[in-house]
Structure 1
């Protein structure tokens, strides 16, 4: 086959164009830090990147769910602690009030303190986090305890589990069972102690004290159960953190460009391009037609 001057020039220009394309690819990799800038650059890398990024997004969502679980559990723990201290104080006051040497005014003063503690426990029961009542199961839009009139408190509790998905296929209960802390028996007992001290009730302080001790035991058991779930939540968090590190590393290995290698390839391509320009300059020589123009 006869090779003409036009063929040499055409091949030279095409090769120079390909060289520019290669240099442009390496420059894009340096500028973006990524192996590809569009799926057509490498469909396999692009497809894997979508899958790995989906996994990483899932892990990040689970971490946000973990934060919500921590928020509920830590506030529940704080509420239980506050109620426990309040009931311990009521117990002390009840023991003090059962002393037969107290005057009516002394009992009245104790009754007033019990009344304030009762109201404080109602405030704890109606704790809201981000506009949601955390001690009313899944009925987070309504308060669990309301004023029933004449100083009596009415508990209307939802005991359903508030579940939060903290890992694929794993949901943990974030709330406590409010019936073990704020049930009607507790408020009836506090009301009975208050009215007995005021002299308008017929309750026996010793029997009421026994009921109060029973509520304290149930409260302690609920607190222990919450602590066990909190420990499990920490283990799940450690596993999620590890999954996030692995997912991030895999995504980086798949998409991120090796900067050192890209710089080396770009330098090599620039040298090749200069050589091609030099050769092209020798191939495209002046012809007789250039002088006849």
Structure 2
């Protein structure tokens, strides 16, 4: 039987195609992904890449929300410390206001009061991160408050943070004292106002934490939807791939055997026609 060169070339071509298929199957099995390069499926590759880029955007927003939430939580804790300080100051002022203290006792209490007043400012000026200070009035105006990006399309959450130092532009307590009953009486009223201000601020901060957590949940949900789509497009059946790889290798072995037999047959024909 004469074997044509065309049939030999076709067998070599088939072997090459099987090898390419095996290389692709091996990559899919090792990576767990059906699409690993544009040549696998140009359209699907672009689609998966677009989904992964969009998912990464949501991851970025999640990171920014997490950072913003950490800042809000930090400020919330600081305001809580300031409220405790104010309540201690009010207790001292009420004690002096009630009268019946000796001058030395009033002096000692006034010294404690002044230390607490300084502590208020220290807490405010020390509440910051990354070179930003949050309770010194920098973010007190609407429209220029502390902003946190929360999603695509320019979505953000803004929180205004008043100046909570003891100064005139803050809680207005720097010039108060409890050196006398009259001064203590005056201080109590201003302390009550300051406590009301910080109580409201702490409530807004708590609301802010809830809003940010809700938006983080929304971003996580959208990111998960995208990731599930990518998983769907990339899903592989390891058992099927392994079986297909084994089948291809078997076919390759038969193809190699056929090529060898064909070449041997042609060589015998040449030797018969042109004996040496």
Retained in 1: the 8 A contact 2:33–2:236? yes
What TM-score, normalized by structure 1, do the two folds share?
0.81
- Structure 1 equivalent of residue 131 of structure 2: 131
**Separation in structure 1 between the aligned mates of residue 90 and residue 52 of structure 2, nearest angstrom:** 57
Retained in 2: the 8 A contact 1:34–1:256? yes
Shift of the alpha carbon at 1:211? 2.0
Does the C-alpha gap of structure 1 residues 5 and 255 become closer, same or farther in structure 2, counting only changes over 3 Å?
A: same
Aligned counterparts, 1:163-202, within 5 A = 163-169=147-153, 170-173=155-158, 175-179=159-163, 184=168, 188-194=172-178, 197=179
- Structure 2 equivalent of residue 16 of structure 1: 15
- Structure 2 equivalent of residue 41 of structure 1: 40
**Separation in structure 1 between the aligned mates of residue 261 and residue 208 of structure 2, nearest angstrom:** 79
- Structure 1 equivalent of residue 95 of structure 2: 96
Deviates more, 1:184-193 or 1:8-17: 184-193
Moved over 4 A (4+): 180-183
- Structure 2 equivalent of residue 263 of structure 1: 242
**Separation in structure 2 between the aligned mates of residue 11 and residue 28 of structure 1, nearest angstrom:** 26
Retained in 1: the 8 A contact 2:90–2:188? yes
Retained in 2: the 8 A contact 1:49–1:251? yes
Match of 2:256 among 277, 285, 289: 277
**Separation in structure 1 between the aligned mates of residue 169 and residue 259 of structure 2, nearest angstrom:** 97
Retained in 2: the 8 A contact 1:45–1:255? no
Aligned counterparts, 1:53-68, within 5 A = 53-68=52-67
Is 1:161 matched up with 2:145?
Answer: yes
Deviates more, 1:271-280 or 1:11-20: 271-280
Task: Give the unaligned 5+ runs of structure 2.
Answer: none
Shift of the alpha carbon at 1:32? 2.8
- Paired residues in the alignment total 268
**Separation in structure 2 between the aligned mates of residue 103 and residue 137 of structure 1, nearest angstrom:** 39
Shift of the alpha carbon at 1:207? 3.0
What TM-score, normalized by structure 2, do the two folds share?
0.86
**Separation in structure 1 between the aligned mates of residue 191 and residue 49 of structure 2, nearest angstrom:** 59
Task: Give the unaligned 5+ runs of structure 1.
Answer: 140-156
Does the C-alpha gap of structure 1 residues 209 and 134 become closer, same or farther in structure 2, counting only changes over 3 Å?
A: same
Retained in 2: the 8 A contact 1:73–1:230? yes
Deviates more, 1:34-43 or 1:215-224: 34-43
Does the C-alpha gap of structure 1 residues 117 and 182 become closer, same or farther in structure 2, counting only changes over 3 Å?
A: closer
Matched residue SS, 2:157: strand
- Structure 2 equivalent of residue 7 of structure 1: 6
Match of 1:227 among 206, 209, 222: 206
